[in-house]
Structure 1
Amino acid sequence: MTTQRPVFLDMTKMRFPVTAIASILHRITGILLFLFVPLAIYLLGASLHSPQSFADMIQWIHRPGIAFLIWLMLSATSYHLLAGIRHLLMDCGIAEQFKQAQITVYIVLLLTVACMVLLGVWLW
């Protein structure tokens, strides 16, 4: 049975619930973390090579663009970790109701913003 219902695919006009936005952000931060793995491996390898390379790496990290990338990587890590803990709690049956899930999303977002601010203060 085929129906002729109108299809509305304009994503800019759709209004997603906060839980859907949190889920999408969790996936995006997972992709970002995957993409940042080569940078993290390079930084680790270069910093462990010798004392001089460690000192060079510290100078390199203090460049504004590199510091921003590191802040972005650590911010994505903090959100992904907190949202992952939230998902694990939901898998255990905690906060499965929609209203409780909304509250936990706001808690995760608030904690992530706090982590981002603290990371920014720590890096700069």
Structure 2
Amino acid sequence: MPEAAVKNKRRPLWYNLSLFNLPVPGLVSIMHRISGAALFLSLPWLLYLFDASLDSPERYAQAQQQLSHPLAKLVLFGLIWGYAHHFSAGIRHLLLDVHVGIDLHSARGSARAVLGVGVALALLFGWVLLW
């Protein structure tokens, strides 16, 4: 390539890869992956609690005592949000796979809707289940 063409070609000086610079659909996609990983990694603890709740009255009381701790409630609330977001974003991704809402305006709108629905469902189910 001639040197004049190389000098005239504008290249970025640095790439800003922070999450705050992503468009909303990209943020929803990354949060979909994070919520899926968090749900998968929490399965052993949730299965332990489920097993304890079905085993005997003593282990049920132990699981109930463990879940009454504020930190456990916070973790469960995060998992409820993760499930609500992962479910909503999964439906969005399935619709995008069949070419529904792939134009830019619709994709941004559906991404915002996923964020809103995930938070709304987390607040609703979190309040009902945890308090």
Runs of 4+ in 1 over 6 A off after TM superposition: none
Residue of structure 1 aligned with 2:49, choices 40, 43, 55: 43
Aligned equivalents of 1:42, 1:13: Cα separation in 2:
34
Q: Are the equivalent residues in 1 in contact too, given 2:80–2:126 (CA < 8 A)? A: no
TM-score w.r.t. the length of structure 1 is: 0.88
Q: Which residue of 2 aligns with 1:82?
A: 88
Number of equivalent positions: 123
User: 1:119: how far off?
Assistant: 2.7
Which AA in structure 2 matches 1:25?
M
Q: Which residue of 1 aligns with 2:37?
A: 31
Rg larger in structure? 2
Residue of structure 2 aligned with 1:93, choices 94, 99, 105: 99
Residue 15 of structure 2 corresponds to residue 9 of structure 1: yes
- Seen in structure 2, the aligned counterparts of structure 1 residues 54 and 17 have a Cα distance that, compared at 3 Å, is same
Superimposed CA distance per residue, residues 70-122 of structure 1 (whole angstroms, 9 cap, x where no aligned partner): 11111101100110011001112211111101111111111111112113312
Give percent identity, aligned residues only.
Answer: 35
Residue 126 of structure 2 corresponds to residue 120 of structure 1: yes
What root-mean-square deviation, in Å, do the aligned CA atoms of Structure 1 and Structure 2 show?
2.0
Unaligned runs of 5+ in 1: none
Unaligned runs of 5+ in 2: none
User: 1:13: how far off?
Assistant: 8.8
SS of match in other structure, 2:42:
helix
